[in-house]
Amino acid sequence: MTDAHEPEATTADHGTRARAPWSIRRRVALGVVALVALLGVLIGAVSVLALRQNLLQRLDAQVYDVSHYLLAGEPGDELPGGSESLSAGLVVAVLTPGTGARGYVYTDPGTAQELTATQLRQLFAASADGPSNVHLSGLGSYRVQVHTASNGALAVGISTADVDTTTWTLAGIFGLVTFGALLLGAIGAIALTRVALRPLERVTETATRVTGLELASGDVAIPERVPEAESDPRTEVGQVGAALNRMLGHVEEALVARQRSEEKVRRFVADASHELRTPLASIRGYAELTRRIDAELPPDAIRSLDRIESESIRMTALVEDLLELARLDEGQGIAHDEVELVRLVTDAVGDAYAAAPDHEWEVVAPEPPLTVEGDAARLHQVVVNLLANAHRHTPAGTAITVTLAADGDDVVLTVADDGPGIPEELQPRLFERFARGDASRARDAGVSATGSTGLGLAIVAAVVAAHDGEIAVASVPGDTRVTVRLPQHRAAHREGGPELAD
């Protein structure tokens, strides 16, 4: 066969190769993680802010209580010991026009410490409109309320340290819970999608098994179907499974119908060929008989009889070839004998030399035996057809070399000639039936008892295929090479079809 060129992968292909798409599993897991993260952050932020607001309001109420308690007394009085729990972290300062600012911070209940000038300045810089956050150097953040009056100002503040601690603790808890939820969500999403997609995997497995069936050759039945559990149309995956099952059913029907019609055609050709044999033999017999009768026949009549004879011989060969192809198509009748090829090939070359002594013949073969498992008569026909091509489609004087060699577990037969070569336009369909070059047709237009039908290589290819072998043809003017590779042992014996009458 002429070399089929593999389409080369272009570099552009590599350049534009798309990124591998994300699997559903990955998408769902990432989607869940993103959603949980968003919800966690949202709920956490709202809760923490609301709690903080609430705590600050309580702090403001306490600041208010302390302020009013103090405003009822004399500014500058020590804090009464009544609310000890409040006194930790409390800041009180008074500003009187005469004496200036003075204030204390109560760290432990009952322990007061004088505020520095900076701290006092920071304290009285706070707005008098309502409670506000003030940072006091060395003391931290305070919730401060300043009350002004004609005779001075009073500033009361309570540390927000507790509120901050509570806020940050809650935020930390939310962070941890969100992180845990993320992990659980991701694991859960992966596990759930795995379970959810398992039926789809089974549908895919079915489809994959179908692609493994040899539908192009041999059996056309498709026994594979998606299991019932995965083809229930009430589920999404079931719909895919059911659709695949319906499709497989259609494909099977179509294949069976096609196989039936092919079989009909094959049988018709086989039957027709078979039926034509007897009348053809009669035509030849009568033509011969007529030529042998004593009566003087005019030269035209003798020429006509010659043509009748030669054409009937040609047609008989054609009919035999068609019958042989029909048998090979049915895959029947291939023997599994030990066939010794060195002897077979040298004998065939001897016969070919007798038929075409004007060609130069050469055989290169190892010492016998070189055997393959197969059908002796058909392998002989392969060799004969190839040798016939090598001398019939080449002029006298052409050198023909037949090489036979073992190559691993195979035997390789090569028939090479230095003739004009096979026409290029013929090469792609060389093994098709009735494929032949124009020169062969032209030669046939003359009187030719041998006849060229264009079935020779089709039969060769069919026999080689039936032996699980391979055939290749390479031809340029001056070098035509047909290579047949046959396995010495065939993997499995094919089942023969019904015998055709012969």
Ligand X SMILES: Nc1ncnc2c1ncn2[C@@H]1O[C@H](COP(=O)(O)OP(=O)(O)OP(=O)(O)O)[C@@H](O)[C@H]1O
Contact in structure between 105 and 91 (CB atoms under 8 Å): yes
Nearer to Mg ion, 90 or 455 (CB): 455
The two three-digit tokens of residue 108, written as one number: 């432990």
CA distances (Å), 361 to each of 153, 346, 419, in order? 131, 11, 13
Nearer to ligand X, 67 or 480 (CB): 480
422 sits near ligand X (criterion: CB under 6 A): yes
Contacting residue, 419, 464, 469, 485, with ligand X by CB under 6 A:
419
> Going by DSSP bridges, is the β-strand pair 152-159/360-364 parallel, antiparallel, or unpaired?
unpaired
394 sits near ligand X (criterion: CB under 6 A): yes
Binding mask 352-391 for ligand X (x = CB under 6 A): ---------------------------------x---xx-
197: partner contacted, choices Mg ion, ligand X, none (Cβ within 5-8 A by kind): none
Contact in structure between 362 and 396 (CB atoms under 8 Å): no
273 sits near ligand X (criterion: CB under 6 A): no
Binding mask 377-416 for Mg ion (x = CB under 5 A): ------------x---------------------------
The two three-digit tokens of residue 99, written as one number: 């004496």
Which part of the chain contacts ligand X (CB under 6 A), choosing from 33-41, 83-91, 204-212, 436-444? 436-444
471: partner contacted, choices Mg ion, ligand X, none (Cβ within 5-8 A by kind): none
Question: Taking the complex as a whole, how short is the minimal distance between the CB of residue 216 and ligand X, in angstroms?
Answer: 23
Task: State the number of CA atoms in the 13 A half-sphere of 422 facing the CB.
Answer: 24
Q: Which residue number places its CB atom closest to Mg ion?
A: 456
Contact in structure between 126 and 132 (CB atoms under 8 Å): yes
> According to CB under 6 A, which residues from 445 to 474 bind ligand X?
452-458
Which part of the chain contacts Mg ion (CB under 5 A), choosing from 59-67, 288-296, 374-382, 454-462? 454-462
Question: Taking the complex as a whole, how short is the minimal distance between the CB of residue 317 and ligand X, in angstroms?
Answer: 7
* Gap between the Cα atoms of 454 and 449, Å rounded: 15
Question: Taking the complex as a whole, how short is the minimal distance between the CB of residue 473 and ligand X, in angstroms?
Answer: 8
Torsion of CA 97, 99, 100, 103, to 10 degrees: -120
Nearer to Mg ion, 240 or 390 (CB): 390
Contact in structure between 81 and 91 (CB atoms under 8 Å): no
Q: Rounded to the nearest 5 degrees, what angle is found at the Cα of 447, between the Cα atoms of 442 and 448?
A: 80
Question: Taking the complex as a whole, how short is the minimal distance between the CB of residue 389 and Mg ion, in angstroms?
Answer: 4
Which part of the chain contacts ligand X (CB under 6 A), choosing from 53-61, 283-291, 376-384, 435-443? 435-443
454: partner contacted, choices ligand X, Mg ion, none (Cβ within 5-8 A by kind): ligand X
Q: Could you count the other beta carbons within 10 Å of the beta carbon of residue 226? A: 24
Contact in structure between 473 and 402 (CB atoms under 8 Å): no
Question: Taking the complex as a whole, how short is the minimal distance between the CB of residue 490 and ligand X, in angstroms?
Answer: 25
3 state SS of 270: helix
CA distances (Å), 373 to each of 175, 457, 462, in order? 77, 21, 16
* Strands of the 399-407 sheet, one edge to the other: 360-364, 399-407, 410-417, 479-487, 470-476
Choose among 133, 127, 77: nearest CA to 69. Answer: 77
* Strands of the 90-96 sheet, one edge to the other: 112-114, 100-106, 90-96, 152-159, 140-149, 132-136
456 sits near Mg ion (criterion: CB under 5 A): yes
Nearer to Mg ion, 185 or 456 (CB): 456
453 sits near Mg ion (criterion: CB under 5 A): no
Question: Taking the complex as a whole, how short is the minimal distance between the CB of residue 393 and Mg ion, in angstroms?
Answer: 7
Question: Taking the complex as a whole, how short is the minimal distance between the CB of residue 19 and ligand X, in angstroms?
Answer: 51
Which part of the chain contacts ligand X (CB under 6 A), choosing from 198-206, 236-244, 247-255, 422-430? 422-430
Choose among 402, 454, 460: nearest CA to 426. Answer: 454
Contacting residue, 417, 464, 469, 485, with ligand X by CB under 6 A:
417
Contact in structure between 89 and 79 (CB atoms under 8 Å): no
Nearer to Mg ion, 419 or 456 (CB): 456
Q: How far apart are the first and last CA of the chain?
A: 31
Contacting residue, 480, 485, 486, 500, with ligand X by CB under 6 A:
480
* Gap between the Cα atoms of 284 and 300, Å rounded: 18
Contact in structure between 108 and 90 (CB atoms under 8 Å): no
241 sits near Mg ion (criterion: CB under 5 A): no
Nearer to ligand X, 122 or 385 (CB): 385
Binding site for ligand X (CB under 6 A): 385, 389-390, 393-394, 417, 419, 421-422, 426, 430, 435-437, 440, 452-458, 480
Task: Summarize as ranges the residues that interact with Mg ion (CB under 5 A).
Answer: 389, 456
